[in-house]
Structure 1
């Protein structure tokens, strides 16, 4: 199966938005390790600790702080720069935060995307732009069916709806203003990995509870999600960008998730794997009758396999093992940057 081609990225001028976040920090480290010239555009880290600071991500990136909701900030960040590729990951990415402040979520995820694309219009040398949305862009009836790229978009909560709306924004800009540039979206599954310290993330809750000697609380242990390790997800994004830049027939929207046909893993099953890995207390269930989160969510990543020759390489158990190993070793004093680079190198060697 196809994988990331490090030689493709050597010397490539890449704009990476959201480089201060969890997934963005891993992306910046990996791109820099492959020899890309990375310019980062994002708000400063909004949490302590943050992987961006722990792993000294800024060391290998031209880091420019700015708010994608502000056109002037985007213009300042892009001034004097020329890009071959753009990976747009900046977003309001927490479901419950979006429920608490829906206007900010729509402003960031929809209008922020529109403002960035507007700033990229007419730029010389630009070959491809990939905007990251979510597996939650589909109109989900909780039936458990795996959604494919041609299924109807929707979203019953502000986060999901804002990401579905961003898909439409990208499609409209692509058709109207980028006739010579491949502009596309990628819909990633639920990502886990070392260095995530965001609120309302299952793995983070497990780690914090284990370190405090407490039992993690689960709202929906029966819920299913398309879990994948951050390196699998990023490898898919990179493979998609490579293809967009070199092959005109590359699909303009792709799902990236667990291997097609793989076993579904519930929230409770993943929590059990995590607790066992860290030696924590068994999780407990505390229902939330007001939750808008879908109970069943699955995406069909077959098109990524047939169009790109790409599929995830780590199953849920392996993804949890790698994730918990990162947290355990970091807590024992290992350097966060070294841990990330070691796992990136191990993933590349495996591929």
Structure 2
């Protein structure tokens, strides 16, 4: 079994489990025989991936609550005593963050702090992966890639909130979770722009493509030259899962303890997958049909135009690397949307993508079935 069977029979808490990435992660963890508990707000619609996969009936526990509720979160962690925590809950949209900056900062910064405080108070043996974003870095529009030691920051409220969350994570780690032999081991994961089946969020390019194609309209592309590190959702999830496994059992990577892994990790694609939005749309409609138009907005809220991630640290310390190239990533994403015409089909395609991805990762450390 992948990840050296470390998750089999273990208690795993996933925050943000009703979201796009959280749903994919829960599906994968269930396939690894983990006992999964989720903590999140309700899904936005009954068409969301969480509902398509019928995860509510398949999880060990499905908790609907806000990260602002420290008392509820603290009680859950104390009662559950999870072996692993994956923190994905967030306000994840750049453009929306301009409209709701207070909520964005409250969720992304204080929500992360509340989870870490619950872990501090419980103080039980636990491996924790706090998920932020590639946008946590102070973006200087560099052509070079951002590395884990680069400065945190952000122009828009979303990016700034994620940079602030990383600073809070480092503070809790240094103040309370720094002992190599301590019960709580904490690291953070920073992913690129993920795509994959089942994302229906507003202001994301692939969902926008699907909605326009379904309505028989041209796809409106508002920022065609913006370059992003495109990757399938399974790429960072494999990194999070392997990082969590290594935090729990450092010996899988020949480490004596988890201290070398307690920090931030970039999980991005290979350099050729760093492409402008227009290239992504052109590649996508090769599979789906449709057409697109340039709908650039001169007065639109600021969004970074260049963003690349360096993944040397994950490669050398975790022996992790991307599996699917750009064309494979787009192909699997398009095929999911074209085939997921019912909840049963959506679940089958999701599980098939996980199986195909694991197969194609053969030879990597996490996919070794030892």
Same fold (TM over 0.5): yes
1:281-332: CA deviation from partner (whole Å, max 9, x where unpaired): 2343333433210011111111100110001111111111000100000137
Equivalent residue of 2:333, what SS? Answer: helix
Alignment partner, residue 221 of structure 1: 224
279-288 or 17-26, larger mean C-alpha shift: 279-288
Q: State which of 317, 321, 333 in structure 2 corresponds to 1:307.
A: 317
1:207 aligns with 2:210: yes
142-151 or 27-36, larger mean C-alpha shift: 142-151
CA distance in 2, matches of 1:40, 1:21: 11
Alignment partner, residue 165 of structure 2: 166
Native 8 Å contact 2:48 2:198 kept in 1: yes
CA distance in 1, matches of 2:279, 2:134: 20
Alignment partner, residue 244 of structure 1: 247
Q: What are structure 2's unaligned runs of at least 5 residues? A: 251-257, 362-370
1:92-150: CA deviation from partner (whole Å, max 9, x where unpaired): 00111111010000000000111111111143542311110000011111122210001
Native 8 Å contact 1:226 1:298 kept in 2: yes
Equivalent residue of 2:272, what SS? Answer: coil
Measured after TM superposition, the shift of residue 33 of structure 1 is: 0.7
Equivalent residue of 1:40, what SS? Answer: strand
1:322 aligns with 2:332: yes
What pairs up with 1:75-224 in 2 under 5 angstroms?
Answer: 75-78=74-77, 80-123=79-122, 125-178=124-177, 179=179, 180=182, 181-224=184-227
CA distance in 2, matches of 1:100, 1:126: 39
Alignment partner, residue 366 of structure 2: none
Measured after TM superposition, the shift of residue 251 of structure 1 is: 4.7
Measured after TM superposition, the shift of residue 48 of structure 1 is: 4.5
CA distance in 1, matches of 2:6, 2:58: 18
Alignment partner, residue 50 of structure 1: 48
What pairs up with 1:50-69 in 2 under 5 angstroms?
Answer: 50-61=48-59, 62-69=61-68
Q: Note closer, same or farther for the CA distance 1:6–1:97 as it changes in structure 2 (3 Å cut).
A: farther
CA distance in 2, matches of 1:223, 1:48: 32
Q: TM-score, normalised by structure 1?
A: 0.95
Q: Note closer, same or farther for the CA distance 1:333–1:101 as it changes in structure 2 (3 Å cut).
A: closer
Equivalent residue of 2:63, what SS? Answer: strand
Native 8 Å contact 1:251 1:307 kept in 2: no
CA distance in 1, matches of 2:211, 2:93: 18
What is the root-mean-square deviation of aligned Cα atoms in Å? 1.7
Measured after TM superposition, the shift of residue 40 of structure 1 is: 0.5
Q: TM-score, normalised by structure 2?
A: 0.90
Q: State which of 257, 281, 284 in structure 1 corresponds to 2:268.
A: 257
CA distance in 1, matches of 2:81, 2:234: 27
Alignment partner, residue 284 of structure 1: 294
What pairs up with 1:323-338 in 2 under 5 angstroms?
Answer: 323-331=333-341, 335-338=345-348
195-204 or 77-86, larger mean C-alpha shift: 77-86
CA distance in 2, matches of 1:121, 1:110: 16
27-36 or 262-271, larger mean C-alpha shift: 262-271
Q: What are structure 1's unaligned runs of at least 5 residues? A: none
1:174-217: CA deviation from partner (whole Å, max 9, x where unpaired): 12122312111110100000000011110000111111111111
Native 8 Å contact 1:4 1:235 kept in 2: no
Alignment: residue pair count: 348
Alignment partner, residue 367 of structure 2: none
